[in-house]
Structures are given as structure tokens and as C-alpha cells.
A = this chain, B = another copy of it.
Amino acid sequence: MRLSSYFLPVMKETPADAQIVSHKLMLRAGLVRQTAAGIYAWLPLGLRVLRKIEQVVREEQDKAGAIELLMPTIQSADLWRQSGRYDAYGPEMLRFPDRHAREMLFGPTNEEMITTIFRDAAKSYRDLPRTLYHIQWKFRDEVRPRFGVMRGREFLMKDAYSFDLDEEGLRRSYEAMFVAYLRTFARLGLQAVPVRAPTGPIGGDLSHEFHILADTGESALFYDSAIEDISREELLAADASTIARLTGLYAMEEEEHGKVKDCPVPAERLRSRRGIEVGHIFAFGTKYSAAMGLIVQTKEGGQVHPQMGSYGIGVSRLVGGIIEASHDENGIVWPDGVAPFEVGLINMRADDPACAAAADRLYADLRGAGVETLYDDRDERGGAKFATMDLIGLPWQLIVGPKGIERGVVELKRRATGEREELSLESALARLTG
């Protein structure tokens, strides 16, 4: 993409209303714009990141055997009356009548709807187990939306729902999602700490939250530092034994930790850090299958309410979470897998024909090799171009200047480390396309 014809409105000033670094950087780097309180438009650069995260989430859901569908944003209040949640849900739920005065709502979650869809389709044990998921915009009418996309009102979530014949099946489905989550966060370059969550009064006995560590997190965590010793490679290859190892290690939110009389972790291994909740998995049994009349025949001819679980990931929140975890004083430092472009190609002198010709050629070659490249071909000062590239945080910068071109070299910079290297055009290309 040529920056001269792209839509990337960066800001020089830090917006006054942004309190946390991810919010500031998302505005400054032209990823999003607020269109109403807690509601954001995703500008082209931000949308590319959002889609990449979404795709990682999708691939790991698919790998875990979950099947994608898509439920609508608007739901009927009647559905929620059947589960008893319509009156129980607070003012976060956006409710409104349609033109025929039927009560509707913008879905904050989808247990009721997926249960009725599954109920009308599944009749026997042959139709189970299944895990269905969707990635859809949701709305929660937060009283004080803040922190940009981290606590917005309209946000993108992945929700999965599992249906099993018995509790043993539910445990297997839950573990499969647990593994998918570990892999997902590792692929996104994030260290995620699974925390045993209190399940509250709505039934079910198994629930974990996944928090990524960041100083600006809203939750306070206490955990065994041995969790940090589990390598990214191990998480990418996670299986049931990884879960056993991880859940065997102490990790609690502050409130729960406060209730613990004798913390089993030696003081020197007890870490206290802040975390951002980016995922939540929850085995709740028959709460919704019983309420919505979902019944299937067993192999033996009996009838059961399937055991269910639900599994969420905050996809749009992850964009902010990744920035909180990966930035420096100059801007964002995207992990490779989610960067909006892999390479930022900088032509230092758009008015120098030899320099421009070399940069054009590199751009064509990179595109030809399928390398996602943002090409700063604008007639601007070099300093401004460097600042923009650092701000938007692409993993590689390829810098083409007139003096280098005279000598047949370009400069390759790694954003994360700041390392620069002079290379021939061929070597630079080989490095980026290899």
C-alpha cells in the first residue's frame, strides 16, 4: 500500500481524553476514531490488526473442533425471559422497542440464542458433542466507557458454546477450549495467566479467566512466578498436561487471594501484577438447556439436558491489550503475527529519481513476494517518516536513501530492538521474503 493514497491520519499531539497508553497510541497511530462515547470506528490500519487477531482466534477455534456460525446483533427480549435473565440483567443491556413495540435488545452475550438454535436442530446423542462459536459485535452500555477499546460499549467478541451429553464430556470440551486459549494468546505474543474464577450463584463449578499482564490492567493478580517459566513454545504445543501444570500453580485475583489464609506459594515466588482480562471460560452445566427446553435422546433411549459451557475472548480488547504489553516511548511495537503490515518501506527522498526508482522496485518486489508492505512514498521530510513508522510499529523498516543507493545499499531496521543493518538491495529483499 502506498501511503500517498492510503488513509492513515496520525496525530502529533497526544489526545487529552486518553488516559492509558494503548488508547493514546491507537488514536495517535490512526487505528481508531471515537464516534460516540465508547464507540469507535476502526480506521484501515486498525482494522487490519483487528482482522489478524480475529483470524488467529478463528484458526485456534477451528483447530479445537469448534464450528463457526454467526448470530445477529439484535435479539428478542422473549428469548431472555425464558432463561430468566431479562429482568436480572442490569442497565448494561441496551433495550428498545421495535416499530411494532416488540421488546428487543442488542445482544451482550448469546447463551439463550445458541441454546434455542441447537435445541431446534439436535435430537439425539449422534448430534453431540458440538462446540459452536461466532465472532460478532456486542454492546454493553457501560456507565463510564473509558480506556478506548479496552472498555468500550460496542466491541468484538468471540463466543463459543459447547454441548455435551454428560459432565465428563463437558470437561473434555472445556479442556479443548483451555488449550485453544493458551495457543491463541501465545500466538499473539502475549503472556496470559489463567486464574481460577469464582463462579457465583448461577451454577457450574469450573471457570477460568485469562489475564494478560500490564501495569494498566484493571485487576490485581497474585500468582506463582513458576507460571512465567512456561515457555511460549510449550504453550504453542499445549495439551492436557500443560493445563494440569498451569492450573496446579497458584493464581488468584486480589479479592480471592485476600480470603486465602495460608498462601501455598513461598513469598519469594509470589508475584503481584496487574492484569487485563481477555478471556473467560465457563462450564455451567444444564442452566440454559433446562431453561430453554433443550433435550436430546441418549444412546440408551433416555433423555437428558445437555451439559453446556461458554468461552469468550475479547477480540477488539486484545488490540489494546497487545499495545499495553508491547510499546515503547516512540510508539507501538507489534508482534509479528498481528502487525498491520510486515514491512514499512521508507523512501527518504521522493524527489530524487534514482532513490524513488529503487524504492519503487523494492516495493514491487516485496508485493510480488506477498510481503505486506506499507510504502511511504510521500514528499515529506525523512524525520517525519521515521517518526510515523516508529509510531505505527511495523516489525521491519526498510530505509532507502540517495546516498545508500549510490553505494547500492539500503538500511533494514528492526522496530522492536532498534537494530539497524546496512545491506545490499538483494540481501534486504532476501531477508524480508525468506
Contacts and interface: CB of A to CB of B under 8 A. Distances in A.
Contacts of A70: 41-42, 47, 50
A304 B284 CA distance: 60
A113 B42 CA distance: 12
A44 B37 CA distance: 34
A433 to B, nearest CB: 22
A394 B413 CA distance: 49
Contacts of A39: 72, 74-76
Contact of A74 (B36, B121, B130, B132): B36
B76 A117 contact: no
B44 A67 contact: yes
A7 B67 contact: yes
Given A104-B36, A137-B73, A68 B47 contact: yes
A300 B363 CA distance: 32
Contacts of A122: 9
Interface string A18-46: 00000000000010010111011111101
Size class of the contact patch on chain A: 35 or more
B99 A141 contact: yes
- Stoichiometry, as copies per complex, reads 2
Interface string A34-70: 0111011111101100100000000000000101111
Main secondary structure of the interface of A (DSSP, over half): mixed
Interface stretch (A90-98, A273-281, A420-428): A90-98
Contact of A120 (B9, B36, B42): B9
B42 A69 contact: yes
Contacts of A41: 69-72, 113, 117
Contact of A6 (B9, B67, B71, B143): B67
Contacts of A210: none
B139 A74 contact: yes
Contacts of A94: 96, 98
Output the residue of A37, A72, A73, A99 with the most chain B CB within 10 A: A72
Contacts of A106: 74, 106
B7 A121 contact: yes
Given A42-B69, A91-B99, A76 B7 contact: no
Contacts of A68: 44, 47
Given A33-B120, A65-B5, A72 B154 contact: yes
A35 B72 contact: yes
Contacts of A139: 73-74
A73 B42 contact: no
Interface in A68-123: 68-76, 79, 91-92, 94-96, 98-99, 102, 104, 106, 113, 116-117, 120-122
A175 B5 CA distance: 18
Nearest to A144: B100
A74 B154 contact: yes
A130 B96 contact: no
Interface of A: 4-7, 9, 30, 33, 35-37, 39-44, 46-47, 50, 65, 67-76, 79, 91-92, 94-96, 98-99, 102, 104, 106, 113, 116-117, 120-122, 126, 130, 132, 137, 139, 141, 143, 153-154
Given A9-B122, A46-B69, 4 more contacts: A7-B67, A7-B130, A35-B71, A39-B72
29 contacts: A5-B130, A6-B67, A7-B69, A7-B121, A7-B132, A30-B121, A33-B120, A35-B71, A35-B79, A36-B72, A36-B76, A36-B102, A36-B104, A39-B72, A39-B75, A41-B70, A41-B71, A42-B70, A43-B69, A44-B67, A44-B69, A72-B137, A72-B154, A74-B153, A74-B154, A92-B99, A94-B98, A96-B96, A98-B141
